[in-house]
A and B are shown apart, each in its own frame.
Chain A
Amino acid sequence: MGDSAPRMITVEESPTTKKDRRVSYAFLMPTVILILILSIFPLLFSLALSFASWDLSRLEGGVRFIGLQNFATLISDTRFWDTAKNTVYFVGGAVALQYLLGFCLAMLLNQEIRFRRFFRVVFLMPMMLTPAAVGYLGRMLFNESMGPINDIIKHLGLPIVPWLSNSKMAMPTLILLDTWEWVPFMTIVLLAGLQSLPPEVFESATVDGASDWQKLRYITFPMLVPVSITVILIRALEAFKLFDIVVVMTGGGPGTATETVTMYAYTVGMRSGNLGYSSAIAYSLLVMVILFATIFLNSLRGRAAAAEG
Chain B
Amino acid sequence: MQLTMRQTKKAKSFITHFLLGLWALVCLAPIYWVLITSFKLPIAVFQGPKYFPWIDFKPTLDAWNFLLIGPTSAAVYRSWANSAILATTSAAIAVIIGGMAGYALTRFRFYWPGLKWKNTNISFFIISQRMLPAVVIILPFMIMYRIFGLIDTHLGMILAYTVFNLPFAVWILRDFFAGLPVDLEESALIDGANRFQAFRMIVLPLAAPGLIATFLFCLVFTWNDYLFALMLTFSKASTLPMFIAGEGTQSYGPQWWYLSALSLLSIAPMILISLLVERYIRRGLVVGAIK
Measuring CB to CB, which residues of chain A are less than 8 angstroms from any residue of chain B? 1-5, 7-8, 10-12, 14-16, 19-21, 23-28, 30-32, 34-35, 38-39, 41-43, 45-46, 49, 59, 104-105, 108-109, 111-114, 117-126, 128-133, 135-137, 139-141, 145-148, 151, 180, 188-189, 192-193, 196, 227, 230-231, 234, 237, 240-241, 243-244, 247-248, 251, 261-262, 265-266, 269-270, 275, 278-279, 282-283, 285-286, 289, 293
Contacts and interface: CB of A to CB of B under 8 A. Distances in A.
B84 interface: no
Contact of A139 (B97, B108, B122, B248): B248
A121 B144 CA distance: 41
B137 A131 contact: no
Contacts of B249: 247-248, 251
B236 interface: no
Q: Give chain A's interface secondary structure class.
A: helix
Interface string B165-176: 011001100110
B137 A39 contact: yes
Interface string B212-233: 0000000010011011001100
Given A123-B23, A285-B135, A137 B263 contact: yes
A132 B245 contact: yes
Contact of A146 (B49, B171, B260, B278): B49
The list of the 6 closest CB pairs from A to B, nearest first, reads A4-B178, A27-B104, A24-B108, A31-B101, A42-B140, A45-B140
A262 B278 contact: no
B144 A42 contact: yes
B195 A130 contact: no
Interface string B20-63: 10011011101101100100000001101101000000000000
Contact of A130 (B129, B171, B240, B285): B240
A145 B48 contact: yes
Contacts of B126: 31-32, 35
A12 to B, nearest CB: 6
Nearest to B129: A39
B170 to A, nearest CB: 6
A121 B275 contact: yes
B137 A46 contact: yes
A190 B98 CA distance: 26
B68 interface: no
Contacts of B223: 130
Contact of A121 (B19, B98, B274, B290): B274
Interface in B124-150: 124-127, 129, 131-141, 143-144, 146
Nearest to A283: B136
A26 B273 CA distance: 33
Contacts of A146: 45-46, 48-49
Contacts of B260: 140
Given A8-B109, A244-B227, A124 B278 contact: yes
Of the listed residues A20, A26, A123, A130, the one surrounded by the most CB atoms of chain B closer than 10 A to its CB is A130
Nearest to B177: A4
B108 A286 contact: no
A71 B185 CA distance: 55
B144 A244 contact: no
B270 A128 contact: yes
A28 B100 contact: yes
A261 B131 CA distance: 16
Contacts of B194: 23
A4 B278 contact: no
B11 interface: no
Contact of A148 (B51, B119, B123): B51
Nearest to B123: A1
Nearest to B147: A59
B120 A3 contact: yes
Contacts of A237: 131
B10 interface: no
Contacts of A293: 131
A269 B186 contact: no
Contacts of B34: 133, 137, 140
